[in-house]
Structure 1
Amino acid sequence: MKRFQHLALLGVVALIAGCGGSEVAENDASQGSGADSAYLASSEPADAMPVGEAREKAGDGEELTLVGLIGGSADPFVDGLAAFTIVDPNVPYCADDEGCPTPWDYCCTQDQVKDNIATVKVVDESGAPVSKTARDLLGVNELATVVVHGIAKRDDQGNLTVEASDVFVRSSK
């Protein structure tokens, strides 16, 4: 009996450690049981600007609402935090017929991404980053369209980060 328990435990560990298996399983579980509604907006905020426009106009500390697609790199999610990058919806990602296994990395249009990308960091009411992956917290994957509302933060290089208090996930069509 003890041998069977050890084998079962090893099987579970192998499944979790396998090639992205834990992320898929966790993502499916979060979608099935619902994501954390404390950070999900129930309706889409009005007047969202695309990422590229926000990068041009938003100043440090300004409140803003922007829209984008999760992506910009092969792995747009930050491990252990509810943070990810989004790209302006006007920047095309690689089409299926281009043979790109990860269209969310925008490898076909990477030259356009630099001026059309922002980092989204979901924060709690005290402004601290939420320490749960965005996949689990929000039930999202790459290329999901999100509308985020929060405070703009700029660094010395002009990069834009949004400390988001609300995220609206558009349903895929």
Structure 2
Amino acid sequence: MKRFQQYVLAGAIALIAGCGGAEVAELAATTTSGDTAYLASSEPADAMPVGEAREKAADGEELTLVGLIGGSSEPFVDGLAAFTIVDPKIPYCADDEGCPTPWDYCCTQDQVKDNIATVKVVDESGAPVSKTARDLLGVNELATVVVHGVAKRDDQGNLTVETSDVFVRSSK
């Protein structure tokens, strides 16, 4: 029931916010409480946007990345603390553009491919945390996060950042 209420709240705020209301949408995105063991108390310095990281980061490189949770209608991985983030420069969509879920970037999906990364929260041993990131970190779609971790690349050039520290930007 709590998850349903979070979806309804996030959806309602997103409908009101539209493309120009990122600050309102972010407020809705950070209304739940998370596990402080994986939440950074201060924002890491020198964060690069997702698109730049996709171009520059090498496999195994340490990096700091900033993005908005989204990129699909379901950006969170069930049962794991993993989610996708999109470069802040890519505008998300509004309901009046025919997009009831702004975080799926349906009106700008052609720009998402080169501006998306996966964030995987890992424990001290490097194993993925077995709790949904929404619950672990207290975040929802369109929250802006800054993560510091290690870049992992697959054969297609997709970028994943393994981290144990996630900073959630407030809307103010």
Q: TM class by shorter-chain length?
A: 0.7 to 0.9
Match of 2:159 in 1: 160
RMSD (Å) for aligned C-alpha atoms: 1.9
CA separation of 1:106 and 1:26: change in aligned 2, threshold 3 A: closer
Give me the whole-angstrom Cα distance separating, in 1, the residues matched to 2:91 and 2:31.
27
- Does 2:90 match 1:91? yes
Deviations 1:65-115 (A, max 9, x none): 000000000000000000000000000010243231100000000000000
Q: Which has the higher contact order (CA 8 A, sep 6+)?
A: 2
- Does 2:88 match 1:119? no
Tell me the amino acid that sits aligned with residue 115 of structure 1: D
- SS, match of residue 114 in structure 2: coil
Give me the whole-angstrom Cα distance separating, in 2, the residues matched to 1:129 and 1:120.
10
Give me the whole-angstrom Cα distance separating, in 2, the residues matched to 1:166 and 1:23.
23
**Structure (1 or 2) with the larger CA radius of gyration:** 1
User: Structure 1: where are the runs of 5+ without partners?
Assistant: 1-20
- Does 2:6 match 1:23? no
- SS, match of residue 123 in structure 2: coil
- Identity of matched residues, %: 86
Structure 1 residue 35: deviation in Å?
Answer: 1.2
- Does 2:138 match 1:130? no
Give me the whole-angstrom Cα distance separating, in 2, the residues matched to 1:56 and 1:36.
32
Tell me the amino acid that sits aligned with residue 78 of structure 1: V
CA separation of 1:24 and 1:172: change in aligned 2, threshold 3 A: farther
Match of 2:102 in 1: 103
CA separation of 1:144 and 1:156: change in aligned 2, threshold 3 A: same
TM-score normalized with structure 1 length = 0.82
TM-score normalized with structure 2 length = 0.82
How many residues are treated as equivalent by the alignment? 151
Give me the whole-angstrom Cα distance separating, in 1, the residues matched to 2:2 and 2:95.
25
Match of 1:38 in 2: 37
Q: Retained in 2: the 8 A contact 1:81–1:129?
A: yes
Runs of at least 4 residues of structure 1 off by over 3 A? 24-28
User: Structure 2: where are the runs of 5+ without partners?
Assistant: 10-29
